[in-house]
């Protein structure tokens, strides 16, 4: 076996068509890694940049896959052409070891690539002195998965394609397979079909070929990183078992063991394929799926709001967060008036499918229509306190929940709310903020293998208990830092990562201006994904608040409490805070541009009040300094309340003041 392996390795190194591509790829990867590490050394990047570079490094997993696919195909094809496979099979051990020897050759060849990638990433973490244990363990898992197991599928696939007898047909199939794995197959079909095939169907067809991470042009949440979820693992196992099924069919084994192996592997392929196709909760890196809710609510507008005349006082139960979110919870409701129409109404995000509802322990008829749940009450129902048990499971396109990472903000309806409430804002293309009208008593067991942070206190028995008007659950590669009385949960691998000094300065800027009451001991989550819409990235609850964590806490709090017609104006005043000396020229040039007849933004600027705003500022800067005008304007925004005077009247008085 060892002697044969050495001979096969020598044959590889003596074949230029194999050696040249292999060395070229290693040289290219080494040079790219050298440039990245040089950038680390010269620019003195902090740990907040490391995930961006790791995301770039993992793009080579697809290159490694294609390289091994090509090499194994050519290597084994030459063996067949030269009848070497028949020579090996003439003695009994060769019959069983032929595939193992080929796998051994490419395992040896893959090892330098694995060492190169692993060494580079570990070196970068050493340079940055970043020793987050969860991060390092997960990186090693990613490396083993994408640089050892996935290339193994490429080797097996190359051996299988080499079995095709006609050389032209074999090469054609190889080229097509490479294009498909590189993601070029969809484009080819779209061109051939002149765009008649829908993108959704194409995504379904090509989803089995997503064996390696997406490139650097997609959003990858630093708290979640690349997925190694059960669907991804089962997909790889399905490929392995499926390829081995055909390889066993082509092998010279005796009929009985051959048939048993083939049927067993075929069964395993089907099982793994089914498991990989089952729903799983993850952050969708593809933009089409990330905007599923935009499409859903455009086709299914939920504007039939109906407030409830009862309230939830307590939520008790279990949340299982592994492949999906599975909930078995009991809601204690306080119904003081009774329901004249015989219905209890709740709101739950439509991605969670309700399986069973119990009223005081007895099954009851219910109907789920999108985000709306209606429960038919029995004839003997009376007002008072009742227990409603709900069992449901599912996922969201943006608020993911799995064993690797969790993003379930308190404003998202992954737990039921009373009444029929609209969850989505078509104006801002985002979720509306939901609060329980009064703090709810929570007593939940959160079962997951993911490191978890919540705004509730964890008890000795593992349950989370506390009173709040919203439960936020975050999980993944996060860290908790104490800044004064504030607990900050942040994503250490994100670009926006802030150190405790920056967080303290951000909090002090809010407290000094008095623009919001943050409470005595709030919990601040500063993960970048916390957002209620495209414009607002700050949400406050009774016991914690959520912010985007980019050092813009003052800006986001102010923006969140301003009326819609003031938000654009406040946004444009930010130019003053960064470059005050240039602000008069900026206003004058913007005004001249908007006044041009053919400016397409003029109508929008008039509707938003921006045109009048610029005209007043331009007039003010002719008689007053920037500070004399903008400091009162900013103070107006910071201190805004429902009792504040109309902004344009306030600005007019300020401009005309001597």
C-alpha torsion 59→65→70→76, nearest 10: 160
- Strands of 299-382 (E only): list them: 310-321, 325-335, 343-347, 352-359, 362-363, 366-369, 372-376
Sign of CA dihedral 524, 528, 532, 537: positive
Statement: residue 623 has pLDDT above 90: no
Q: What is the C-alpha R_g of the chain?
A: 30
SS3 581: helix
Whole-angstrom Cα distance, residue 78 to residue 84?
Answer: 8
Alpha-helical regions (H) of 89-216: 92-127, 133-144, 150-161, 167-181, 185-192, 199-206
If 0-12 CB within 10 Å is exposed, 13-18 middle and 19+ buried, where does residue 552 land? Answer: middle
- For residue 649, name the pLDDT band (cuts at 50, 70, 90): confident
Specify the pLDDT at position 443.
96
Question: Which range has the worst mean pLDDT, 167-171, 251-255, 522-526?
Answer: 251-255
- Report pLDDT digits (tens) over 442-454: 999 999 988 899 9
Alpha-helical regions (H) of 207-286: 230-250, 255-277
Task: Provide the residue count of the chain.
Answer: 658
> What residues contact residue 100 under an 8 Å CB cut-off, 6+ apart?
1
Alpha-helical regions (H) of 44-91: 50-57, 60-81, 84-88
Statement: residue 552 has pLDDT above 80: no
Residue 321 in contact with residue 446, Cβ under 8 Å? Answer: yes
Most confident of 276-290, 354-368, 485-499: 354-368
597: its two tokens: 């007849």
Stretch 110-136: mean pLDDT: 76
**Residue 185 or 155, more confident:** 155
**What is the DSSP code string of 21-38?**
HHHHHHHHHHHHHHHHHH
Return the exposure string of 224-243: e unless at least 16 CB atoms fall within 10 Å of the residue's CB, then b: bbbbbbbbbbbbbbbbbbbb
DSSP code for 310: E
- Strands of 395-512 (E only): list them: 406-408, 417-418, 424-425, 430-431, 440-447, 452-454, 457-458, 463-468, 473-475, 479-483, 486-490
Q: How many C-beta neighbours within 10 Å does residue 533 have?
A: 15
514: its two tokens: 């008095």
Statement: residue 192 has pLDDT above 50: yes
Statement: residue 323 has pLDDT above 70: yes
Statement: residue 487 has pLDDT above 70: yes
Whole-angstrom Cα distance, residue 324 to residue 382?
Answer: 36
- Rounded to the nearest angstrom, the gap between the alpha carbon of residue 155 and the centroid of all alpha carbons in its chain is 31
- Report pLDDT digits (tens) over 22-37: 999 999 988 887 777 6
Element (H, E) at 44: none
Q: Are strands 343-347 and 479-483 parallel, antiparallel or unpaired?
A: unpaired
Mean of per-residue pLDDT scores for the chain: 82
């Amino acid at each position: 076996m060892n002697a044969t392996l050495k001979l096969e390795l020598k044959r590889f190194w003596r074949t230029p068509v194999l050696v040249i591509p292999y060395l070229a790829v290693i040289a290219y990867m080494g040079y790219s890694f050298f440039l990245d590490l040089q950038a680390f050394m010269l620019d003195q990047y902090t740990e907040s940049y490391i995930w961006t570079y790791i995301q770039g490094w993992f793009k080579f997993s697809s290159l490694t896959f294609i390289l091994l696919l090509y090499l194994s195909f050519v290597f084994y094809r030459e063996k067949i052409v030269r009848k070497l496979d028949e020579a090996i099979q003439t003695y009994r051990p060769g019959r069983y070891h032929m595939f193992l020897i080929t796998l051994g050759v490419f395992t040896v060849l893959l090892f330098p690539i694995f060492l190169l990638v692993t060494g580079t990433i570990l070196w970068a973490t050493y340079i940055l002195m970043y020793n987050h244990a969860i991060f390092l363990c997960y990186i090693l898992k990613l490396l083993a998965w994408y640089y050892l197991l996935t290339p193994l599928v490429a080797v097996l696939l190359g051996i299988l394609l080499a079995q095709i007898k006609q050389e032209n047909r074999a090469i054609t199939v190889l080229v097509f397979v490479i294009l498909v794995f590189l993601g070029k197959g969809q484009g080819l079909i779209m061109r051939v079909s002149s765009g008649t095939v829908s993108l959704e169907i194409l995504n379904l067809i090509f989803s089995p070929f997503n064996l390696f991470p997406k490139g650097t042009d997609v959003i990858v949440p630093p708290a979640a990183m690349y997925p190694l979820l059960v669907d991804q693992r089962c997909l790889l196992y399905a490929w392995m078992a499926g390829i081995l099924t055909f390889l066993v069919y082509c092998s010279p084994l005796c009929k009985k063991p051959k048939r048993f192996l083939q049927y067993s592997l075929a069964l395993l392929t089907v099982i793994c394929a089914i498991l990989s196709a089952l729903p799983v909760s993850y952050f969708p890196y593809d933009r089409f799926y990330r905007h599923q809710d935009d499409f859903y609510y455009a086709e299914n507008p939920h504007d039939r709001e109906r407030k409830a005349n009862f309230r939830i006082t307590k939520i008790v139960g279990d949340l299982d967060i592994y492949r999906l979110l599975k909930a078995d919870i009991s809601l204690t409701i306080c119904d003081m008036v009774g329901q004249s129409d015989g219905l209890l109404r709740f709101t739950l995000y439509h991605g969670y499918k309700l399986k069973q509802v119990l009223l005081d322990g007895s099954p009851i008829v219910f109907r789920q229509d999108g985000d709306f749940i209606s429960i038919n009450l029995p004839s003997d129902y009376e007002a008072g306190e009742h227990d409603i048990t709900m069992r449901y499971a599912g996922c969201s396109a943006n608020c993911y929940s799995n064993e690797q990472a969790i993003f379930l903000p308190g404003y998202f309806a992954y737990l039921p709310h009373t009444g029929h409430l609209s969850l989505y804002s078509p104006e801002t293309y985002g979720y509306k903020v939901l609060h329980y009208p009064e703090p709810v008593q929570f007593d939940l067991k959160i079962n997951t293998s993911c490191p978890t942070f919540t705004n509730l206190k964890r008890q000795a028995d593992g349950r989370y208990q506390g009173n709040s008007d919203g439960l936020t659950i975050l999980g993944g590669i996060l860290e908790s830092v104490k800044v004064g009385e504030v607990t900050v949960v942040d994503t250490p691998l994100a670009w926006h990562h802030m150190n405790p000094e920056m967080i303290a300065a951000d909090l002090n800027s809010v407290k000094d201006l008095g623009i919001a009451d943050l409470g005595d001991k709030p919990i601040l989550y500063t993960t970048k994904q916390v957002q209620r819409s495209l414009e607002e990235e700050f949400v406050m609850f009774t016991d914690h608040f959520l912010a985007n964590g980019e050092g813009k806490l003052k800006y986001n709090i102010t923006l969140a409490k301003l009326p819609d017609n003031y938000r654009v104006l406040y946004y444009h005043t930010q130019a003053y805070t960064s470059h005050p000396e240039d602000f008069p020229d900026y206003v004058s040039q913007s005004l001249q541009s908007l006044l041009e007849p053919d400016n397409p933004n003029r109508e929008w600027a008039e509707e938003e009040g921006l045109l009048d705003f610029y005209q007043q500022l331009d007039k003010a800067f002719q008689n007053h300094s920037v500070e004399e005008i903008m400091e009162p304007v900013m103070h107006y925004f910071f201190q805004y309340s429902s009792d504040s005077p109309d902004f344009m009247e306030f600005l007019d008085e300020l401009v005309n003041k001597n």
